[in-house]
Amino acid sequence: MTALDPTTAQLPAQPKGGTPRSGQHTRLWAALLALPTGWMVAFFLSSMVIVVLLSFGRTQADGQPVFSTRLDNYAQLWDPLYLRLFLRSVSYAVATTAICAVLAYPVAYVVALHGGRRKNLLIAAIVVPFFASYLIRMYAWSALLSDDGLVNSLIVRLHLGGGVQFLNTPYAVIGGLVYGYVVFMILPVYAALERMDTSLIEAGKDLYHGPWRTFWSVTLPATRAGLFGGVLLVFLPALGDFVSAQLLGGPKTFMIGNLIQQQFLEGQNWPLGSAMTVAMMIGLTVIMVGYLRATATRSREAS
Amino acid sequence: MSARSRRVERRPAVAVAVTVVFFAWLYLPIAAVVLFSFNSVKSLSTFRGFSTRWYADFVHDADLVTSLVASIGIAAVSAVGALVLGTMLALGLSRIRSRTGRAVGAVTLLPLVTPEIVTGVAALLLFTGVGLKLSLVTVTLAEITFSIAYVTVIVRGRLAAMSTEVEEAARDLGCTPWQALRLVTLPTLVPALLGAGLLVFALVFDDFVLAFFTTGVSPQPLPVRIYSSIRFGVSPAINAVGTVMLVLSALVMVLALIVPRLWGRKSSSLDLITGA
């Protein structure tokens, strides 16, 4: 945006008749960029290239992965067992995203519009635990929900029933994912609500009267950008997660992440694991591009 | 603070109820971890009395203490490394106007939209591929790579809000570009840099996935150690370690939110996180 600002754009952008100064600072910026760019190429881009290359590789008899040019690993992915697992992962991630959206709106709404002076404190109270150890929080749920955990012992003590099996169910895994990532939905929705002109809500109330209709026809469209952003921020990590299914679920609820993790750290089939990783990235890219296109069109129609 | 009142309606009862339940749900498991870490018996459902025996177990477990120290070290080195590289990147990207510059900018944001398991797998393959032995060093390299993008986003946000006129004035007064950067721009960035550094420290200290894929056998970062003991079943000793981790990272996060505010104006990393 600074480029369009008339007060700042003129100075660095225009070479002043070839004074040594402009050349000097272009060199400075290029020098500043060189090291981090080199680092990202060496440690990030090259690692991604290796994953793609190894996905065409094979495992030698002695267990060593070697580069090759076969499509075997990709052919293996069409196994119905794997396909079912992919489908399960996507459905868990979609359910997680939907629950996060339904949960995030009332919370963000109350904090942004009725938080008053404690607004920042409330947001901090949401953010701090979310950045504190994901693993410990998942462990906490597994301890609470286990067969001899606090929740079940309360159910038995209050004579509500004979105990419920929570762990090893899809509900526990999706619940864990929601618990892990809901903050990524709350923050963008909160930011959108903060920026929103609240007199619109008043106007909506005058026109439509009911709070629900006002929400659907005024508040939701006005905060659409925040919701769209939140959907991506929750969906991406939820789809790749393996900790929730590992600690709160079991083999029946495993997701892509568990499968990939097994290939690398248990099954030791690195080329197959690489193919799964690449397939997941391709799937995610397709979903993301489709999603971004759809939301871009809707935003344009709205304005 | 806007003069216009935000309170345009009565509190929506349903939304308030959901929010109350949300906060309870958010803190219930954390409270349980902390409570049972002080339990005098080995139970996760019945609290029999106050005791610090699980903390004593933790302190006397040399492996766990080594892991804790290792995690703090990794987080500190990663925070400094990511801060240096991320700030260089942010400064370079904010001033360079070429197409290559923009392409570099887009590539450096990729780690933010890549699922962590992918980054982890890729780092594992890279390190073993070039023959690096997996250790705390490889964990740190991977964590720095992953954290650069966070610093870049925060510092670029701050730079965009900053006027370039002061830096230009410094140059008109005879500063070299480097002097102008060092004497004018960097001091203005200090609050944002502190916030970003603390945020990266907290993220890396707690990070499990990347550490899990890139660590060697011993010593391991604390989250990886905890993960392997959880798989053998829950135990109150883990609650004590978990409480220590939660308290440490909560403290660092609170600092990350507060420290930039000490400089007065509204510029905490909270605003950067929420995008406000």
Assess if residue A287 is contained within a domain. Answer: yes
Q: Give yes or no for residue B6 having a pLDDT over 50.
A: no
Beta carbons of B121 and A273 less than 8 Å apart:
yes
CATH code of the domain in which B95 resides? 1.10.3720.10
Burial bucket for residue A116 (CB in 10 Å: 0-12, 13-18, 19+): exposed
Instruction: Kindly determine whether residue A114 and residue B223, on different chains, have CB atoms separated by under 8 Å.
Output: no
Q: How far is A221 from chain B (nearest CA, A)?
A: 18
Chain A residues touching residue B213 (CB < 8 angstroms)? 264-265
Contacts of A247 in chain B (CB under 8 A): 230
- Whether B248 is in a domain gets the answer yes
Residue that wins the pLDDT comparison between B113 and B68 = B68
Tens of pLDDT, residue by residue over B41-80, are: 887 777 888 888 889 988 888 888 999 999 999 999 999 9
Alpha-carbon Rg of chain B, whole angstroms?
23
Per the CB < 8 Å rule, is B28 touching A144? yes
Q: Could you tell me the CATH number of the domain that includes residue A158?
A: 1.10.3720.10
Q: What is the pLDDT of residue B265?
A: 54
Residue A118: inside a domain: yes
CA distance A252 to chain B (A): 17
DSSP helix, strand, coil percent of chain B (3-state; round to 5):
75, 0, 25
Tell me the DSSP string of B147-186.
Answer: HHHHHHHHHHHHHHTS-SHHHHHHHHTT--HHHHIIIIIH
- For residue A227, the distance in angstroms to the closest alpha carbon of chain B comes to 13
A39·B145 Cβ contact <8 A: yes
Q: Identify the domain containing residue A97 by its residue range.
A: 81-302
Q: What's the pLDDT tens digit per position in A225-283?
A: 899 989 999 999 999 999 999 999 988 999 999 999 999 988 779 999 999 999 999 99
A110: nearest CB among B16, B111, B178? B16
What was the pLDDT predicted at B23?
A: 95
pLDDT given for residue A303 in this prediction: 53
Q: Look up tokens 């397939």; give the residue.
A: A279
Identify which of A232, A223, A231 has the alpha carbon closest to the alpha carbon of residue A302.
A223
Report yes or no: A132 and B253 within 8 Å, Cβ to Cβ: yes
Total structural domains within chain B? 1
Task: Compute chain A's Rg from CA coordinates.
Answer: 25
> How confident is the model at residue B140, as a pLDDT?
97
Average pLDDT over residues B186-212: 91
ipTM score assigned to the predicted complex = 0.86
For residue A30, which of A38, A20, A42, A18 has the smallest C-alpha distance?
Answer: A38
Residue B271 has pLDDT above 60, yes or no: no
Angle at B233 between CA A129 and CA A99, to 5 degrees: 40
In a domain, residue A130? The reply is yes
**CB pair distance less than 8 Å for B206 and A124:** no
For residues B214 and B139, the answer to whether their CB atoms sit within 8 Å is yes
Question: What is the rounded CA–CA span in Å between residue A241 and residue A248?
Answer: 12
Give tens-digit pLDDT for B149-180: 999 988 988 888 777 777 778 878 888 878 88
How far apart CA A125 and CA A137 sit, in angstroms, is 15
Range of the domain at B211: 57-274
pLDDT at B128: 92
Q: Do A128 and B230 touch (CB under 8 A)?
A: no
- Other C-beta atoms closer than 10 Å to the C-beta of B81 total 20
Contacts of A189 in chain B (CB under 8 A): none
- Whether residue B128 is contained in a domain is answered as yes
> Chain A to chain B, count of Cβ pairs less than 8 Å apart?
285
Classify B246 in phi/psi space as left (phi over 0), alpha (psi -120 to 50) or beta. alpha
Number of domains in chain A: 1
- Write the CB contacts of A165 (distance below 8 Å, at least 6 apart in sequence): A147
pLDDT one digit per residue (tens) for chain A, 303 residues: 334 444 443 444 444 433 445 566 677 778 888 899 899 999 999 999 999 999 999 888 777 888 888 888 899 899 999 999 999 999 999 999 999 999 999 999 999 988 888 888 899 899 888 877 888 899 889 888 888 888 888 888 887 777 788 888 999 999 999 999 999 999 999 999 988 887 888 787 778 667 788 888 888 888 888 999 899 999 999 999 999 999 999 889 999 999 999 999 887 799 999 999 999 999 999 988 898 888 887 766 655
Instruction: Give, for A59, the enclosing helix (H) or strand (E).
Output: strand A58-59
Q: Would you tell me how many other CB atoms lie within 10 Å of the CB of residue A58?
A: 18
**B207/B185 Cα distance (integer angstroms):** 32
B200/chain A closest Cα distance in angstroms: 10
B12 vs B15: CA distance, rounded Å: 6
